[in-house]
A and B are shown apart, each in its own frame.
Chain A
Amino acid sequence: MDYPASAKKYLALAQEVVERAARGGAEAEAYIIAGEDLNIEIREQEVEALTTARERGLGLRVIIDGRVGFAYTTDFSRSALEETAEQARANAARATPDEHNCLPPPEEYPHLDLFDPQIEDTPLKDKIELAKEIERQARAADGRVKITESCSYSDSRYIVAVANSRGVGATYYGANCGASIFVVAVEGEESQTGFGLAYSLKMADLDPARIGREGAARAVRLLGGKRIPTQRAPVIFDPYVTVNFLGVIAPALAADAVQKGKSLFRGKVRERVASPVVNIIDDGRLAGGLASAPFDGEGVPTQRTVLVEGGVLQGFLHNTYTAAREGVRSTGNGARGSFKATPEVGTTNIYLEAGDRTPEELVREVSRGLYVTDVLGMHTANPISGDFSVGIMGLWIEHGEFAGPVRGVAIAGNIIELLKSIEAVGSDLTFFGSTGAPSIRVAGMSISGT
């Protein structure tokens, strides 16, 4: 695809739709995303499934007398676009007026390196080979790795265009790629699952050997799990698990959750919400960040926002609406999951900053405790109350050393208590998609076992 030319074409279309929808004093915003995706799934060194896709869609938001209406379409014919505009205007009539509903003005955008031509130029057979190599590496790493649950390479190339009636008219294009493997290690009657994965803006960064071996190592080390008694003990989360917890905290850092009284962090700006070793940052222009973009879903420039510094809450993430309601500037976090939804407040690249302790040091200082490598049921954690209770997979620690895997164990607590009881942060910051975290050690947690 000729990306620069297509980007120009979609921007012109977005502007045309805005013009039509903004009749009679309405404000209007059109958002277009068009893309091509590829997904390759390997099993037993065969291509089990290959998916290619071409997709595009347009979301249209109108504001009439402070009332927001929204409609979307994947049909770009003149009549469908006309109908979408009518529908959005009609929907606006049913909504409650709110003076803070508004669209942002045009601004300068940073230039970011988001399109690695290698992702598009690499022949299909090389991408298939990359996925096969991951599986070979996982199998070679340990003889007990017997089943491939899934092994895949995927990439996507996309164009985004946003236009609004205040003069925003902006477009960019980008690409990303990723690969993952989920394997099962089998020993006797027992089987355990492990994964390795990586996502990147650059194809050269995908290392099949590392992904494959990590998947194998994660599965194999859980074999032979034993039950442990119910107790309270220090717990170490590896980066993947910390990322899972950060994913529960993230919605509470969005200003809309705060304004609606649904955030754990409401009314706590400038207060200590976490241990002093905790820093949390959202950075929409992070170099190499999977969620990096010059502007957000409303055409507001992205930025770096420090949310928690030294354990003290600094502020929240905003889109244009929440910023207007608060009388502050948008932080460029008007996030759109797709063209099918209005921009909400969402994170970009959010991460817990690395500390200076190696992960080995974190383990060595524990006399008896739990090292957690994966969780089951994280999505059942309640981001509003902060209560969580999850099944875990991991290893028991005795005298600073791993003493074997555990099974049938759950940990529970409240996320605020957890943040406050983080006693050490590792140096191993790792991103899983657009969320990153290092290992952390929590002073004491409820561990439910036998």
Chain B
Amino acid sequence: MLFAPDDLKAILEAALEGGGDFAEIFLERRRTTGISCEDNKIERVHSGLDQGAGIRVIRGDNTVYGYTNDLTRESLLETAREVGKAAGGRGTKPEIRWQQPQPNWDFQVKKRPDQVPIEEKVALVRRANEAARAVDTRIVQVSVAYGDVIQEVTIANSDGVLVEDERIRCRFMVNAVASDGRIIQTGYESAGGLMGFELFEENDPVELARRAAGRAVRMLEARPAPAGRMTVVMAGEAGGTMIHEACGHGLEADLVQKQLSVYAGKKGQQVASPLITVIDDATIPGKYGSFRFDDEGQPGQRTVLIKDGILQDYMYDYLTARKEGRRSTGNGRRESYKDRPIPRMTNTFIAPGRDDPQAIIRETQKGLLVKRMGGGQVNTTNGDFVFDVAEGYLIENGQIGPAVRGATLTGNGPEVLRMVDRVGNDLGFSLGTCGKDGQGVPVGDAQPTIRIPEMVVGGILEEEGED
């Protein structure tokens, strides 16, 4: 524990002297290691310690937040008083009785990254670098990065919640650059999870490196993507960027309550094709968006957001749940002690359906097959979203045709989800850092192979040619 329970109580009491009706302290100690290789060199070996505390006081619908990385008792008491005073109102002396919530699931880290010699981590990075370069002579640059983080948190609030937790995450990334002297293309692969060094038992760095390099080289031979409306098949292995953008953000309760979501006020309504079920689940072992407790001390859970096309629920944190007199769904997350928690996704996915993924492609006359999605963005207010196609192919007469590059898909969340006419029985995960209000948190996204009869592909008009 980063602080004794009695000290935490004193800090929360000081925070409520000013008059707020809820106080919380989030203490964090984060140790990180990072190794990066580029240009065939181990360029950087980093390690760091970042610790601090965020104190939050809520009064009615209003929040005051303060943070410091001076973790002396005096400094925290002072920050608590300042924050409490800014919240205003009449002072209260809460009766705090500690209760320690139990998580809905648990996990064991098999190989703590702080017990793995740094040489072993460096060797992993080197192996991946070499493997990527060996794929093709047109690979001109490779960057490989390894990172691990051990985050210890203590969360205590005036309702008596007291949680201490340790989150361990490892991540590995390979970015390959290929050039034929005329054009440059890139390929990216990553693996990561709420787990220790055992990440590499399931994910071979050499295999990841080959996949990234292979994609970069294939994209050199790709033709510019066509432009306009067409049928789109998103492969299960493509990752879950689309569902994250198309509806995930719109189901976060803060955006819903502020009427900033197209899904506001639609609980119980049909918002997607009956083939579509969407779930947010923090309790899938080892996934990048998983956790035992969220950043407010609420146990992580599995929440069905859309069932058979009907909107079931939104994702809540403490504050948005309180506004509706209900319980949080364990989606209160923050990037660090510097940030106040907001509703965020964990691992979000479209549940698998019944169709054979191969048959979906076979039964598509003409269209675009997305084999890998890149990043995306959504305007939650009207549901318009875009995402980048990192690897795509034309589908011609039910066959996978030539590769295309430079495509972006744009659409409207509810419109696209209503149109989905095939859902495969596979499920492919991707991981990433989701940005919202300037805060990045680790998330997982997934979907089965799905088909959308019509989407706008942002590409290049054919008559322009290549150059």
Contact = CB atoms under 8 A, between A and B. Distances in A.
- On whether the two chains bind one another, the answer is yes
A371 interface: no
B373 to A, nearest CB: 10
Contacts of A417: 467
Contacts of A46: 61-62
Contact of B44 (A50, A72, A95): A95
Contacts of A448: 227-228, 410, 456-459
B458 A51 contact: no
A182 B48 CA distance: 36
Nearest to A417: B467
Contacts of A51: 64-67, 340
Contacts of A105: none
A70 B374 CA distance: 31
A267 B375 CA distance: 30
Given A94-B119, A446-B464, A50 B86 contact: yes
Contacts of B459: 389, 412, 446, 448
B66 A48 contact: no
Contacts of B82: 52
A192 B377 contact: no
A275 interface: no
A92 B47 CA distance: 11
Interface centre among A50, A231, A264, A417 (most CB of B within 10 A): A50
Interface in B297-344: 338, 340
A91 interface: yes
Contacts of B376: 377, 380
Given A391-B410, A410-B408, A448-B457, A73 B48 contact: yes
B10 interface: no
A390 B200 CA distance: 35
B39 A260 contact: yes
A411 interface: yes
A230 B65 contact: no
A71 B46 contact: yes
Given A94-B45, A450-B228, A391 B458 contact: yes
B176 to A, nearest CB: 10
A247 to B, nearest CB: 14
A333 interface: no
B384 interface: yes
A377 B377 contact: yes
B70 interface: yes
A290 B41 CA distance: 34
B377 A57 contact: no
Interface string A62-76: 000000111111110
B96 interface: no
A47 interface: yes
A84 interface: yes
Query: In the complex, which range does the number of interface residues on chain B fall in?
Result: 35 or more
Given A49-B62, A50-B63, A389-B407, A379 B377 contact: yes
A90 B117 CA distance: 12
A390 B460 CA distance: 12
A98 interface: yes
B67 A340 contact: no
Interface in B29-73: 35, 38-52, 61-71
A224 interface: no
A102 interface: no
B410 A376 contact: yes
A411 B458 contact: yes
Contacts of A411: 458
A193 B460 contact: no
Contact of B52 (A74, A80, A389): A74
B387 A377 contact: yes
Contacts of A232: 461, 463-464
Contacts of A193: 379, 381-382
A68 B185 CA distance: 30
A96 B144 CA distance: 14
Contact of A446 (B52, B179, B227): B227
A382 interface: yes
Contacts, number: 245
B86 A52 contact: yes
Contacts of A74: 49-52, 69
Interface string A343-355: 0000000000000
Interface in B369-397: 374-379, 381-382, 384-388
Nearest to A94: B45
Contacts of B227: 230, 410, 412, 446-448
Contacts of B43: 68, 95-96
Contact of A342 (B44, B51, B381, B405): B44
Nearest to B68: A54
B461 A410 contact: no
Contacts of A340: 46, 48, 50
A74 B39 CA distance: 31
B270 interface: no
A72 B50 contact: yes
Interface string A373-416: 00011011010111111110000000000000001111111100
A184 B375 CA distance: 25
A261 B140 contact: yes
Contacts of B386: 376-377, 380, 390-391, 410
Given A377-B388, A380-B387, A57 B458 contact: no
Contact of B458 (A87, A260, A390): A390
A358 interface: no
Contact of A389 (B41, B79, B378, B458): B458
Contacts of B118: 90-91, 94
A48 B375 contact: no
B460 A446 contact: yes
B64 A377 contact: no
A13 to B, nearest CB: 14
B39 A413 contact: no
A168 interface: no
B186 interface: yes
B41 A96 contact: yes
B86 A384 contact: no
Nearest to A183: B381
A361 interface: no
B110 interface: no
A389 B35 CA distance: 32
Given A49-B63, A50-B65, A408-B456, A260 B48 contact: no
Contacts of B52: 55, 74
B83 A52 contact: yes
Interface in A429-450: 446-450
Contacts of A83: 49
A191 interface: yes
B381 A149 contact: yes
Given A192-B382, A264-B184, A389 B406 contact: yes
A240 to B, nearest CB: 15
Interface in B414-467: 437, 456-461, 463-464, 467
6 contacts: A51-B66, A55-B67, A340-B48, A342-B46, A376-B410, A380-B374
Given A94-B118, A408-B410, A410-B408, 18 more contacts: A50-B63, A54-B68, A68-B43, A74-B52, A95-B41, A147-B258, A147-B259, A191-B381, A340-B48, A376-B377, A376-B385, A389-B407, A389-B458, A389-B459, A408-B412, A408-B456, A412-B407, A414-B406
Interface of B: 35, 38-52, 61-71, 79, 82-83, 86, 118-119, 122, 140-141, 177, 179, 183-186, 225, 227-229, 258-260, 338, 340, 374-379, 381-382, 384-388, 405-408, 410-412, 437, 456-461, 463-464, 467
6 cross-chain pairs, A with B, having the tightest CB-CB distances, nearest first:
A410-B458, A389-B408, A380-B388, A377-B386, A91-B45, A96-B41
